[in-house]
Amino acid sequence: TKSLRDTLKEIIPAKQEQLKKLKAEHGDTVVGEVKVENIIGGMRGLKAMLWEASVLDPVEGIRFHGLSIPDCQKVLPAAPGGKEIIPESMLWLLLTGQVPSAEQTLALSQELAAKGALPKFVEDLVDSFPRTLHPMTQLGMGVAALNHDSAFQAAYERGMKKPEYWVHTLEDCIDLIARLPALAARIYRNVYAPGTPLAPVDGSLDLVGNYANMLGYGENHSLTEYLRLYIALHGDHEGGNASAHAAHLVGSTLADPYLSYSAALFALAGPLHGLANQEVLRWQMAMQAELGADITEEKIEAYLWKTLKSGQVVPGYGHGVLRNPDPRFIALQEFCDGKPELKASPIIQLVNQTFKVAPGVLKAHGKTKNPYPNVDATSGCVLYHYGLTEFKYYTVIFGVSRALGALTQLVWARALGLPLERPKSMSMDALSKFIADS
């Protein structure tokens, strides 16, 4: 059975050829037009970057190399003894476009576990942070500090040639993904259970098995399975979202994968992006507290209007690209439907009741282009049910996940020799002059 590196070595030349052909034969083909509204509207809808591993259809949602989420759930290997997709099989798919065998997935799990320990100075750095420092700030700083051992940076200093870029990028990406659970779990334990022992990385566990174990939830098989699915599903959501795009932009300067991914994490930490899952829980709990025991759809509707009229967004609803319920939301709901204790959970029931009412209210409100839930509408609430109630930590789990896609693209960007990203900006005066002259 072929290794990950050999698989990549085999497929990269054809991709390089494809890019060369696109450039040579279609370099001046027009893909779309740039309107003033795109320039002032956060570049929404502009097709302006390459991203290999996934494409987001507004109606159908995400596909990873053409595979939908239900497709992935059918074909991607689970952990030994588990049922859900695991990040290792998703990473293999994202990197290669191929579905790994159970054996290949296991080999990747073993490699990640073998590389999973943190350098001592990073442990000390993280231990020195005040407990009050937001976990996402800690994660971003920890990831940036891991660049101390960057293979890419060391090879660049030695004067490596361009065809070698992806090889060292890949090694950094694997090392970083391997170390994320130990880093993220250390932050959790320091902030929420200081002074208690932290389990070391266990060579016999998969990536999330280890993560759950180090968090202190190793015994909870159901939560571990949820985290596997959650982390696999959040892995990639094409390239334009703020975290993925930040990694791509910073990586295009040939900053190493650690620095590039720390930039992604700080983008993920914004409330309109990854912080939304913590906001959803906060909002649903405030709703629960206000509405009391007897929660009806009418009361939820009134609460939604109250949120909107106070000028706030309804967290967990809307999306920059999607125009339908997010299939990741649906997959997490199906996970809950299959587990009686989750189905009976008050917070999950509230999420479901809200889902029945919110699209109608948001349509009547008439602002958002997408009145449907995104994945964050439920992801944090499920964690809360399992007893992982520290919602300031939720985006860290998203941050462990998004590495899969953002780092995959760094490998492809270096393999394809993609250039420094540098869009042209305009001032309002320049834009007005352009309009007047044209």
* Given 319, 365, 385, 437, the catalytic residue: 319
* Residue bearing tokens 């590389």: 115
Contact 97, 65 (CB under 8 A): yes
Residue 332 CB, nearest distance to ligand FAM (Å)? 13
Q: 147 or 370: whose CB is closer to ligand FAM?
A: 370
Which listed range, 97-105, 150-158, 248-256, 270-278, lies at the site for ligand FAM (CB under 6 A)?
Answer: 270-278
- In the shown chain, the binding pattern of residues 302 to 341 toward ligand FAM, with x for contact by CB under 6 A and - for none, equals ------x----xxxxxxxx---------------------
369 binds ligand FAM (CB under 6 A): yes
Q: 109 or 370: whose CB is closer to ligand FAM?
A: 370
125 binds ligand FAM (CB under 6 A): no
Count of residues touching ligand FAM (by CB under 6 A): 19
- For residue 373, the SS3 value is strand
Q: 40 or 272: whose CB is closer to ligand FAM?
A: 272
Residue 385 CB, nearest distance to ligand FAM (Å)? 20
Residue 415 CB, nearest distance to ligand FAM (Å)? 27
Question: Does the annotation count 273 as an active-site position?
Answer: yes
Q: 363 or 369: whose CB is closer to ligand FAM?
A: 369
368 binds ligand FAM (CB under 6 A): yes
Question: Does the annotation count 256 as an active-site position?
Answer: no
Angle at 2 between CA 174 and CA 76, to 5 degrees: 70
Cα torsion 219, 222, 223, 229: sign: positive
Q: 308 or 418: whose CB is closer to ligand FAM?
A: 308
> What is the DSSP code string of 18-33?
HHHHHHHHHTT-----
* Given 273, 385, 429, 437, the catalytic residue: 273
Which listed range, 8-16, 159-167, 222-230, 271-279, lies at the site for ligand FAM (CB under 6 A)?
Answer: 271-279
Catalytic site residues? Answer: 273, 319, 376
Applying CB under 6 A, which residues contact ligand FAM? 272-274, 276, 308, 313-320, 367-370, 374, 376
